[in-house]
Structure formats: C-alpha cells, structure tokens
A and B are shown apart, each in its own frame.
Chain A
Amino acid sequence: MRPDLAAIVHWVPRGARVLDLGCGDGTLLRSLWHEREAPGYGVEIDDDSVIACVANDVNVLQVDLESGLSLFADGSFDCVILSETLQTIHRTELLMREMLRVGREMIVSFPNFGHWSARLQVLLGRMPVSETLPYEWYETPNVHHCTVADFEDLCRRLGVRIRERLVLHEGKPVTLLPNLFGSLAVYRCTAG
C-alpha cells in the first residue's frame, strides 16, 4: 500500500463514516472497511476506476469533483479524504471548503513540490520528474503543484486548522526540514 494511504488508515477513527475523493479502484476504502470498520463512499470520475470499485464491492459515485460536493449534506461524514488528488484539482479552494462542509475533518495528501530533487531539476531548467511526480510536463494530469509551505499558507488563509502532519520520503517520516527532504505530505485538518 502507498505510504500515505497507510498513514490515512491509521488516522481514521474506528467506525468513522468516510468519503474518499478521487478514490481510484477503491483500495483505500477497502482497507478502511477491513481494518477500521469504517464504512464509506468513493468519488471517482474515471470509468475504469469506477467499474473497478464496483468489482471491489466499494460504494462509488461517479461525479466530477470540480463541481463541488453537492450530492452530500452538511456534516454527513466524519472524515473526507483527498489522497494524491489535490494537485489535479482546478478549483482547489472551492473543494477544500466543500470538504470541510460535508465532513468534520479532512485528510489531504499530495506530492511535495518543495522536495530538493524537484528544486534541483527546476534549477537545472527542467520540470521535475520523480517517483512522486512521475509525469512529463506534457502528459501530467496535475495542474496545481504546491509545497508543504504553500499548502500551510492556504490552510491559514482559509481558516483551516492543521491537526496532524506527516511528511514522508520513500515511505519513511521526515522530521528534519520536511519541505526540503519530504516528497509526500499528509495532513489531517478541521475547520477553524
């Protein structure tokens, strides 16, 4: 399992109602159900992924995140998860507000663009390609890259309170200069 997903499973309280945005084939939701008895729904736009969710016996809703979370009532989830999807969202602010409208807390993970290898590649005049940023610039689904520092700025601006942070590199926690040495960041946040 992807290291950020392992962290997320750990953070979700037993029996919590979860919403996994950009849930892929439903792997995380399956783990949450089996390990944390947390029932949930996934949101996914890609046909093949949605069918994979159905095959994995995961509840999935094929809607576009960009139009917000209008299917979901206020406060209907304990935890809303956005794992490695933030960087693909056009209307980032809208979605973050929506996540905290429908859920008591949100868990967000994203590749850290501030990692030294990305900085070095930019310094050398190239768009970064790495394990956490595997795409060439012309084929990437990512539209909004950010760094650990950038994300925390946005949280401040939106009045989002960061409850926990885990920055990883190659699956291991990074505590020294995380914005420089971490390639993957995971946050647990609440409103205000």
Chain B
Amino acid sequence: MNAPESNPAYVIAQKARFDAPIRLKGGAELPSFEIAYETYGELNAAKSNAVLVCHALNASHHVAGVYEDDKENVGWWDNLVGPGKPLDTRRFFVVGSNYLGSCFGSTGPASINPASGRPWGAEFPVVTVEDWVEAQARLADRLGIERFAAVIGGSLGAMQALQWALSYPERIRHSIVIAAAARLSPQNIAFNEVARQAIMTDPDFHGGHYYDKGVVPTRGLRIARMIGHITYLSGEAMAEKFGRLLRRGAPGFDFDIDFEIESYLRYQGDKFSTYFDANTYLRITKALDYFDPAADFGGDLTKALARARAAFLVVSFKSDWRFPPARSRELVRALLDNRRIVSYLELDAPGGHDAFLLEDERYHAALRAYLGNIEL
C-alpha cells in the first residue's frame, strides 16, 4: 500500500454543456443545461475504472485537490480521494459532478433563463435526485463512460448513489451508500421546512427574485444553516467540542454571544450566507424531502430495489441522529430481500451525520479495502 501524497497537479473545474432538453420529474423542461465537474486520475483503456462521487447538500464538484489560483480551496472529500488515498486516483478515474440547480457552476436558479434573458430565480424548477442522476448520466456519456466501477456519496450524495443503481442498473457495478436514508422521516422534513421558512420569510427574499434587487436573504440563509448544523453534529460531539464554555468567561445577562456553541453556529451561518444561494437551498431541501424510491411501489422498498443490479456497500454511523443506523438497516434489509450483494458497516464514530466527511481510521480502512477489491 502506498502512502498518501499530495496531488501531483492542480485540479481544474470544467463545464459540460448539453443542448438536448431535459425533462424533469416535476414536469418542467430545461431546454439546455450545464454541469460543472472535475476529474482526477486517468480513464483506463477499457474505461472500467471510473468512479462517480456525488456531493451532499452544500458541497460541489470540487471533491479533491486545490486550484492553481486558489490553493486554500481544498476539495471537500480530499481526505478520501487522491493518489494513495482510499479512493486512489492512481487506480481510479474519479469524476466529481455538481448537481443541477446548484450555485457552484451547474445550471441553477442564478443562471440566465434563455426565455427571459434574466436570472431564473423563482422560476427555476424544483429538481429531484432522479433529475440529478439523469444529468450525471449525460455527463458520463460525454466522458465516454459506459459503466461506472462505482458511484459513491454520503448523505444526499448517497441518495444519488442509490438512485443510480435504480435509474441505470446496468451502468453501475458498485453503489457505496454512506450515512443515508432511503427516504426522509417526517422529523427530517420538519427541519427542512423550518429552514425553508427562514429563507422565504426573509424580507430580502422577494419571492425568489432577489438577484436583480441587489440583495440576498442573508438572515434566512443564516438560520437555515444553523438549523442544518445542529442536525449534522451529534449531541456528544457538540458537548465535547463546545461544552458549556462561555465566550466572555461569565454570563453576560444580555443577548450577545454567551456560549461557544452560539458563536460556532453564528459563524457557520454567516459564512454560509456569503457563498450559498437561497434559491438553491430551497430546491435541494425539496429534493431531499421528495426522495423516496419506494413511493411508486406502495411504500415497499423491497419492490423498489428489485431492479438494482449493483453490489452495495452501506455505511452508517452510530452517532448520526439525522439518518441513524436504523434507516440504513431498512435499506440493507430491502437489498437482502432481493438477494443483492451487500455489505453493511455500522461504525461507532462520534462525529454524527458529518462523520462521513471525517477521517476515521476504521471508516477509511473499510472504504480502502472495499475499493481495493473492485476489479478493473
């Protein structure tokens, strides 16, 4: 096994433009669209070593490495993806694809609507996980990838990895589904709705048409992000990281920041509101809420997964209360009912939902072992 090393070259963000229209699950049609993506490693001659990395809520196609002109901007899964890392780019050709509706380069609400010549804003359709997979499939066609060796993702990214096995059973050999749920619980949806309400009731939201008004619903985005962050961390991790530490050493008996956790949430909220688009946030939380492969099968997940052909690796984390292990076990049970090849890891990592992004020794050892056994 080779020791990890830094990426030998800088990574380059690319865009693929598609002029054939895409019909979305919600009924709307985009006449054309662009998908932002990055690739790492080389596609082999047999084109059998491609791995698609799907990102979660607030990330992008920038999965690993840094840009030549922005060396601080490290890819969101750089601890996993790279030369000598568990998803080894010396062996695999890794594709990071940005989803449709994003604010990081793919066509989204801030893009220009060709019909009006103005930003889509509120008119940009609600997109789904199925739509994202459809767009990614077109990107795969463009890159000459007939079949992925694996599609991998955590959280919302894992839902895409699962949907790939359902939308294109013959085009994916392995589906790696980490910290996922086969559908959101009412509690998950409730958190999303609070986040959406925070954005939509912000006076600067203007019904989604804030781009030409020169404002951003910053307050709504901040609160949405703060709510999100609470669900990404485990209570244990939060207690360990922040405890009841007081910023000013003693209670202020006012409404300025007292506790460290308040400071952390405000910081995360502020940071997020400077780079994330509110219209995109509304749409991805909807994509999460709507995702439910069993819906067309009377709620029967076993029937829904009958068409999957891929081998599955499902990973959950015990401290994840957003998508707890029981949700992953539902998925595993349905795969077993269908006699699919599946391995399931339920790791005792403390990081909560965010554990899928962290560098846990056992987690990475398992992924390294699994990926290492994929035949090219």
Query: Which chain B positions have C-beta within 8 A of A51?
Result: 362, 365-366, 369
Q: Are B329 and A53 in contact (CB under 8 A)?
A: no
Query: Which segment of B193-201, B269-277, B345-353 sits at the interface?
Result: B345-353
Q: Are B336 and A76 in contact (CB under 8 A)?
A: yes
Q: In the complex, what residue of chain A is closest to B374 when comparing beta carbons? A: A57
Given the interface pairs A62-B346, A76-B336, the reply to whether A71 lies near B341 with Cβ below 8 Å is: no
| Distance to closest chain A CB from B162 (angstroms) | 17
Partner of A71, one of B313, B329, B362, B370: B329
Q: Are A60 and B343 in contact (CB under 8 A)?
A: yes
**Is A47 located at the chain interface by the 8 A CB criterion?**
yes
Query: Which chain A positions have C-beta within 8 A of B366?
Result: 50-51, 54
Interface size on A, residues (CB 8 A): 20
Q: Are A41 and B370 in contact (CB under 8 A)?
A: no
* Cβ contacts A117-161/B at 8 Å (1 or 0 each): 000000000000000000000000000000000000000000000
**What are 12 of the A-B contact pairs (CB < 8 Å)?**
A47-B348, A47-B362, A54-B369, A55-B372, A55-B373, A60-B344, A61-B332, A62-B344, A71-B332, A71-B336, A72-B333, A73-B336
Query: Which chain A positions have C-beta within 8 A of B343?
Result: 53-54, 59-61
8 nearest A-B residue pairs (beta carbon): A55-B369, A54-B369, A61-B344, A62-B346, A57-B373, A51-B366, A47-B362, A62-B345
Q: Which of A52-100 contact B (CB under 8 A)?
A: 53-55, 57, 59-63, 70-73, 76
| Distance to closest chain A CB from B320 (angstroms) | 14
| Distance to closest chain A CB from B173 (angstroms) | 14
Q: Are A63 and B346 in contact (CB under 8 A)?
A: yes
**Is B42 located at the chain interface by the 8 A CB criterion?**
no
| Distance to closest chain A CB from B332 (angstroms) | 6
Give bound CA distance, A70 to B336, whole Å. Answer: 11
Partner of A41, one of B336, B345, B348, B373: B336
Given the interface pairs A51-B362, A54-B369, A55-B373, the reply to whether A71 lies near B333 with Cβ below 8 Å is: yes
**Is B300 located at the chain interface by the 8 A CB criterion?**
no
| Distance to closest chain A CB from B328 (angstroms) | 10
Give bound CA distance, A69 to B339, whole Å. Answer: 16
The total of interchain contacts (Cβ-Cβ below 8 angstroms) comes to: 52
Q: In the complex, what residue of chain A is closest to B315 when comparing beta carbons? A: A62
Give bound CA distance, A59 to B174, whole Å. Answer: 13
State the majority secondary structure of interface residues on A. Answer: mixed
Query: Which chain A positions have C-beta within 8 A of B365?
Result: 51
Q: In the complex, what residue of chain B is closest to A50 when comparing beta carbons? A: B345
**Is B359 located at the chain interface by the 8 A CB criterion?**
no
Q: Which of A31-52 contact B (CB under 8 A)?
A: 41, 47-48, 50-51
Give bound CA distance, A48 to B339, whole Å. Answer: 25
Q: Are A47 and B329 in contact (CB under 8 A)?
A: no
Q: Which of B292-342 contact A (CB under 8 A)?
A: 313, 329, 332-333, 336-337, 339, 341-342
Give bound CA distance, A29 to B341, whole Å. Answer: 14
Q: In the complex, what residue of chain A is closest to B346 when comparing beta carbons? A: A62
Query: Which chain B positions have C-beta within 8 A of A61?
Result: 332, 342-344
Give bound CA distance, A51 to B341, whole Å. Answer: 16
Partner of B347, one of A47, A55, A57: A47
Give bound CA distance, A51 to B315, whole Å. Answer: 12
Q: Are B342 and A59 in contact (CB under 8 A)?
A: yes
Give bound CA distance, A169 to B313, whole Å. Answer: 40
Give bound CA distance, A48 to B343, whole Å. Answer: 14
Query: Which chain A positions have C-beta within 8 A of B348?
Result: 47
Give bound CA distance, A62 to B318, whole Å. Answer: 12
Q: Are A59 and B341 in contact (CB under 8 A)?
A: yes
Given the interface pairs A47-B362, A50-B366, A51-B365, the reply to whether A63 lies near B373 with Cβ below 8 Å is: no
Give bound CA distance, A63 to B369, whole Å. Answer: 19
Q: Are A73 and B337 in contact (CB under 8 A)?
A: yes
Give bound CA distance, A29 to B265, whole Å. Answer: 48
Give bound CA distance, A47 to B346, whole Å. Answer: 9
Query: Which chain A positions have C-beta within 8 A of B339?
Result: 17
Query: Which chain B positions have C-beta within 8 A of A70?
Result: 333
| Distance to closest chain B CB from A163 (angstroms) | 25
Query: Which chain A positions have C-beta within 8 A of B332?
Result: 61, 71
Give bound CA distance, A61 to B331, whole Å. Answer: 12
* Cβ contacts B100-137/A at 8 Å (1 or 0 each): 00000000000000000000000000000000000000
Query: Which chain A positions have C-beta within 8 A of B313?
Result: 54
Give bound CA distance, A16 to B162, whole Å. Answer: 28
Give bound CA distance, A76 to B335, whole Å. Answer: 12
| Distance to closest chain A CB from B181 (angstroms) | 16
